[in-house]
Amino acid sequence: MATAAAQGGLFRRPTATTGWWSWVTTVDHKKIGILYCATALAFFVIGGIEALAIRTQLAVPNGTTLTAETYNQFFTMHGLTMIFLVVMPLGVGIMNYLAPLMIGARDVAFPRINAFSYWVFLLGGLFLYSSFFLGGAPDGGWFGYAPLSTQLPGNGMTFYALGLQILGVASLLGAVNFIVTILNMRAPGMTLMRMPVFIWMTLVTAFLLLFAMPVIAVALFELMFDRVYNANFFNPATGGDPVLWQHLFWLFGHPEVYIMILPAMGIISDVLPTFSRKPIFGYAAIVFAGIAIGFMGWGVWAHHMFAVGLGPVANSAFALSTMFIAVPTGVKIFNWLGTMWKGDLHFNTPMLFAIGFVSMFIIGGLSGVTHAIVPSDAQQTDTYYIVAHFHYVLFGGAIFGLFSGLYYWWPKVFGKLLSEGLGKVHFWLMFIGFNLAFGPMHILGLEGMPRRTYTYPDGMGWNLWNLVATVGAFIIAVSIAVFLVNAVRTKRKGREAGADPWDGRTLEWSTPSPAPAYNFAEVPIVKARDDFWHRKYVVKPDEQVTPVVAGGAVAAHEDEHDPGHGIHLPAPSFLPVLAAPGLPIMAYGVIYSWPLIVVGGLLLLLALFGWVLEPSEVEH
Amino acid sequence: MATGELTPAVHEHHTSTGLDNTKMAMWAFLGSECLFFGSFISTYLLYRNQTADGPTSADLYDIPYTSVSSFVLLMSSLTMVLALAACHRKDQRGMRAWLLATALLGMVFIGGQIYEFTEFAHEGLALSVSPFGSSFFVLTGFHGAHVTVGILMLLLLVGMSMFDRLGPDDSRKVELIGLYWHFVDIVWIIIFTVVYLIPS
């Protein structure tokens, strides 16, 4: 079957569809999505262990668990891990699996680039972590403020500059891929305003990545030249300006916040309607609010720099724009409340996590508004109040939303339902542990406890709440263990899910679980928003909803003999996984010895050369 | 113009917007590149007078020289257009000739840049001398790297055409690399204006 496509490339095309090699050479968006999520969960455990070490150190005054040096490495790597190796790739993984299914496509626009993005992401993460074994990890904070970051001894911050650069390549290519996929690969009838909200938020996220990644790339290149080649971008002694780093970093960094939260917002915008048995309330409003956040997210970055001294005009302008961006965010919250209002609510695990998202995100949003007020922010800057705030939006928000998505789509991906009982234990433990860990940090911050300090003296009145926060962190760890147990148990004896276990509304539920390689035996013709729901139910003139006789179009082709025959699918390829190591090899070359830059560059070049010559399709 | 998407051989390129996937991807990528060069140009503008005790732009820039190399690069956009036109006429030989001409003009530009860099280095400018030196070399260096990547892609196109790996209908690859090439040229127009022509 692959004979025609096998000729012409540098290699024989890989043909395995199961087993280890099939995962290495896959270009299937579903397998890549699973790889992304599994890798991100592994990094989640590592970043969590770093967090536990930090909390153990801070549990009591004058803690001795970590030295100051190790503490600096751990809090820096905890931040980098959770942002770049957990929240972003979990979002990307879920997008990968679902975006083509939800728009009725057979794959993403560029399947091999998609695989390349994954391998670059994985190797970028490993590159960053290899620093622990090569003289010390980055220790200047995830924000890498110059001139500290240019002057810290050792290679830690060079690993930071290069590691994030590699991860940025993966994100940028992913962004291009998803923009083209969503705009160009929609099934007939899937107009933009019929797309699920998750797809809209994915699209906005992709545009944010597209324009934010080059800005951080420039900042990181400048840092790299300063550190490795003695350039003077951030060296005040020769007239360089460290504030330039802050502007470039936050011009990326604030859109980055929305890059992390918008996919989670999209997820719960699909979960809440399903478990409320109602369409999303105010579809156009929630879509446009998401787009508005995407635009306004570019005009608020200096609220991270209120303590720098930019002057009253700049501070006031950014204070106003920051308060203003709370408006579209508030619109979304009312959309979610309106969706649940008078709904037929089903409190399954995905729904619990979605409600957890909404409630925790409101707390984080409100404390965010307090930072927008400049005098108030001047008191809060660099205290634990900030740590409390961003964990409420990024853990209480993004992580809860992403877990909602994992529970919701797990049966679609693996064909089996995660245990509801363990799922609820996971949710409640995580919810309680989260609030115990991060709620008290508001108080600690207002009492003046500085962040990024490896220990604190006795008698400051901070002892109790630090201990509570540490207990909370360990409860979160237990909840994650419950989730992992649930995942393993489900693989062995989970309940079969069938195509549509939740009475879903969107196209991914119309195809069997797990989704076949070709996604849809026939490309769906979309006639309405929530098209799949309309295939299952009829709304009578008196607004009475009745199921369509004979069960509608639920996975009609499931039992047909080999329904995917004759469908053109992208063929597996060795080249993405061969090209990806070129980047980390070049990065090691920058740190250790320049010939490696040439070696890595040539590897990348040759693999891309083979890539261009390789035909991309094969008949299934 | 007749790109491949209407022919049955490339039926999968039927898209929701009617735009070709690869072309949309290239436009998106170039949009991203605007922010990339924009950030470097902003850095340069911030630092163009931060010369520490090193040479200043007035000491270094040779406007007539750089004007000539800029003209060479601009002419390469013309030859790129001619290459695409030949490709649309299905004139593979003509296309190869114009692609080679484009690559050669690009190489002349890069050669000129290498000469300029060494001259500036002789006169005492280096990354480590001043923020002006850092931002000048890194901005123009990254532009040069983009031109170099473009040259490699042009040569690859020529090679593919010579070994019949470029179908007669496959004008899309030529068009894509053309888009990239024109973009890099436009960036140079901005760099030439902002970096060389605006006096310090």
Rounded to the nearest integer, the mean pLDDT of chain A is 93
Shortest CB distance from B28 goes to which of A176, A240, A248?
A: A176
Cα–Cα distance, A290 to A199 (Å, whole number): 11
> What residues of chain A lie within 8 A of the CB of B133, using their CB?
231-232
Using DSSP's 3-state secondary structure scheme, residue A570 falls into strand
State the number of CA atoms in the 13 A half-sphere of A542 facing the CB.
2
Q: What percent of chain A has pLDDT over 70?
A: 94
Q: pLDDT at residue A559 above 60? A: no
Enumerate residues 6+ apart whose C-beta is below 8 A from A554.
A499, A500, A510, A536
Shortest CB distance from A184 goes to which of B17, B129, B130?
A: B17
Cα–Cα distance, A335 to A339 (Å, whole number): 6
Q: Sign of torsion, CA B155 B161 B162 B165?
A: positive
Q: pLDDT at residue A615 above 90? A: no
Domains of chain A (ranges; CATH) run 29-570 (1.20.210.10)
- CB contact (8 A) between residue A217 and residue B17: no
Shortest CB distance from A239 goes to which of B24, B34, B50?
A: B50
Residue A221 contacts B, CB cutoff 8 Å: yes
> What residues of chain A lie within 8 A of the CB of B25, using their CB?
109-110, 176-177, 179-180
- CB contact (8 A) between residue B28 and residue A210: yes
Residue B161 contacts A, CB cutoff 8 Å: no
Residues A600-611, mean pLDDT to the nearest whole number: 93
Which chain B residue lies closest to A609 (C-alpha atoms)?
A: B156
Distance from CA of A183 to the nearest CA of B (A): 7
The pLDDT tens digits of the residues spanning A28-87 come to 999 999 999 999 999 999 999 999 999 999 999 999 999 999 999 999 999 999 999 999
Enumerate residues 6+ apart whose C-beta is below 8 A from A488.
none
Using DSSP's 3-state secondary structure scheme, residue B31 falls into helix
Which chain A residue lies closest to B52 (C-alpha atoms)?
A: A238
More confident position, A226 or A609? A226
Cα–Cα distance, A106 to A507 (Å, whole number): 12
N- to C-terminal Cα distance for chain B?
46
| pLDDT tier at B185, thresholds 50, 70, 90 | very high
Which chain B residue lies closest to A109 (C-alpha atoms)?
A: B21
Shortest CB distance from A613 goes to which of B51, B133, B165?
A: B165
Cα–Cα distance, A333 to A336 (Å, whole number): 5
- Window 187-206 of A: residues touching B by CB (8 A cutoff) are 190
Which chain B residue lies closest to A568 (C-alpha atoms)?
A: B12
Residue A248 contacts B, CB cutoff 8 Å: yes
Cα–Cα distance, A249 to A610 (Å, whole number): 36
Q: What is the pLDDT of residue A83?
A: 97
Shortest CB distance from B24 goes to which of A184, A190, A233?
A: A184
> What residues of chain A lie within 8 A of the CB of B50, using their CB?
238-240
Residue A323 contacts B, CB cutoff 8 Å: no
| pLDDT tier at B3, thresholds 50, 70, 90 | very low
Asked if A537 and A586 touch (Cβ cutoff 8 Å), the reply is no
Residues B38-57, mean pLDDT to the nearest whole number: 95
Q: Write b or e for each residue in A411-421: b if 16 or more Cβ atoms lie within 10 A of its Cβ, otherwise e.
A: bbbbbbbbbee
> What residues of chain A lie within 8 A of the CB of B34, using their CB?
214
Q: What is the pLDDT of residue A516?
A: 93
Q: What is the pLDDT of residue A577?
A: 94
Distance from CA of A147 to the nearest CA of B (A): 14
H or E, element range at A618: strand A617-619
Cα–Cα distance, A190 to A196 (Å, whole number): 10
Greatest pairwise CA separation for chain B in angstroms: 65
- Beta-carbon neighbour count of residue A551 at 10 Å? 12
- CB contact (8 A) between residue A210 and residue B52: no
User: Dihedral, CA atoms, A503, A509, A510, A514, nearest 10 degrees?
Assistant: -130
The owner of tokens 């195809």 is A511
Q: What is the pLDDT of residue B165?
A: 78
- CB contact (8 A) between residue A221 and residue B29: no
> What residues of chain A lie within 8 A of the CB of B152, using their CB?
605
Shortest CB distance from B131 goes to which of A109, A230, A240?
A: A240
- CB contact (8 A) between residue A214 and residue B32: yes
Shortest CB distance from A225 goes to which of B16, B29, B127?
A: B127
The structure tokens listed for B148 are: 């170099």
Q: What is the pLDDT of residue A256?
A: 96
- CB contact (8 A) between residue A218 and residue B39: yes
The pLDDT tens digits of the residues spanning B5-36 come to 333 333 445 789 989 999 999 999 999 999 99
Cα–Cα distance, A23 to A7 (Å, whole number): 22
The structure tokens listed for A491 are: 């693989």
Domains of chain B (ranges; CATH) run 34-47+55-197 (1.20.120.80)
Distance from CA of A239 to the nearest CA of B (A): 6
Using DSSP's 3-state secondary structure scheme, residue A195 falls into coil
Enumerate residues 6+ apart whose C-beta is below 8 A from A571.
A2, A5, A13, A27, A615, A616, A617, A618
- CB contact (8 A) between residue A239 and residue B47: yes
- Beta-carbon neighbour count of residue B15 at 10 Å? 18
The structure tokens listed for A432 are: 């309680």
Q: At what angle do helices A242-276 and A312-340 cross, to 10 degrees?
A: 10
| pLDDT tier at B169, thresholds 50, 70, 90 | low
Q: At what angle do helices A197-229 and A283-296 cross, to 10 degrees?
A: 10
| pLDDT tier at A565, thresholds 50, 70, 90 | low
Cα–Cα distance, A215 to A185 (Å, whole number): 29
The pLDDT tens digits of the residues spanning B99-110 come to 999 999 999 999
The structure tokens listed for A233 are: 């971008």
- Residue of A165, A232, A617 to mutate for B, most B C-beta atoms under 10 A: A232
Which chain A residue lies closest to B152 (C-alpha atoms)?
A: A605
Q: pLDDT at residue A552 above 60? A: no
- CB contact (8 A) between residue A239 and residue B32: no
Shortest CB distance from B128 goes to which of A219, A231, A244?
A: A231
Phi, psi (degrees; rounded to nearest 5) at A100: -60, -40
The structure tokens listed for A536 are: 């299952």
> What residues of chain B lie within 8 A of the CB of A184, using their CB?
15-17, 19, 21, 24
> What residues of chain B lie within 8 A of the CB of A179, using their CB?
24-25, 28
User: Dihedral, CA atoms, B179, B184, B186, B190, nearest 10 degrees?
Assistant: 160
Going by C-alpha positions, the residue among A246, A227, A64, A256 that lies closest to residue A161 is A227
Enumerate residues 6+ apart whose C-beta is below 8 A from B33.
A214, B146, B183, B187
Q: Write b or e for each residue in A446-468: b if 16 or more Cβ atoms lie within 10 A of its Cβ, otherwise e.
A: eeebebeebebeeeeebeebbeb
| pLDDT tier at A373, thresholds 50, 70, 90 | very high
Cα–Cα distance, B82 to B89 (Å, whole number): 10
Distance from CA of A538 to the nearest CA of B (A): 28
Q: Sign of torsion, CA B186 B187 B190 B193?
A: negative
Q: List beta partners, residue A570.
A: A617
Going by C-alpha positions, the residue among A123, A119, A111 that lies closest to residue A29 is A111
- Name residue A281's amino acid: F
DSSP conformation class of A14: P
Q: What is the pLDDT of residue B164?
A: 79
More confident position, A552 or B54? B54
Q: What is the pLDDT of residue A546?
A: 85
Alpha helix positions (H), chain B = 21-47, 57-60, 63-88, 92-122, 131-162, 171-191
Shortest CB distance from B21 goes to which of A109, A172, A229?
A: A109
Cα–Cα distance, B189 to A129 (Å, whole number): 41
Q: What is the pLDDT of residue A21?
A: 87
Asked if A403 and A356 touch (Cβ cutoff 8 Å), the reply is no
Which chain B residue lies closest to A569 (C-alpha atoms)?
A: B12
Distance from CA of B70 to the nearest CA of A (A): 24
Shortest CB distance from A176 goes to which of B25, B40, B165?
A: B25
Q: List beta partners, residue A619.
A: A568
- CB contact (8 A) between residue A240 and residue B50: yes
Cα–Cα distance, A574 to A614 (Å, whole number): 10
- Residue of A226, A238, A247 to mutate for B, most B C-beta atoms under 10 A: A238
Residue A176 contacts B, CB cutoff 8 Å: yes
The pLDDT tens digits of the residues spanning A175-189 come to 999 999 999 999 999
Which chain B residue lies closest to A219 (C-alpha atoms)?
A: B39
The pLDDT tens digits of the residues spanning A487-508 come to 999 999 899 999 999 999 999 9
- Window 77-106 of B: residues touching A by CB (8 A cutoff) are none
Asked whether the bond before A581 is cis by omega within 30 degrees of 0, the reply is no
- Beta-carbon neighbour count of residue B21 at 10 Å? 22
ipTM: 0.93
The pLDDT tens digits of the residues spanning A109-153 come to 999 999 999 999 999 999 999 999 999 999 999 999 999 999 999
Distance from CA of B43 to the nearest CA of A (A): 8
Give burial (CB, 10 Å; 0-12/13-18/19+) of B1. exposed
- CB contact (8 A) between residue B36 and residue A231: no
Q: What is the pLDDT of residue A569?
A: 82
Q: Which has the minimum average pLDDT: A220-229, A256-265, A565-574, A580-589?
A: A565-574
- Name residue A453's amino acid: T
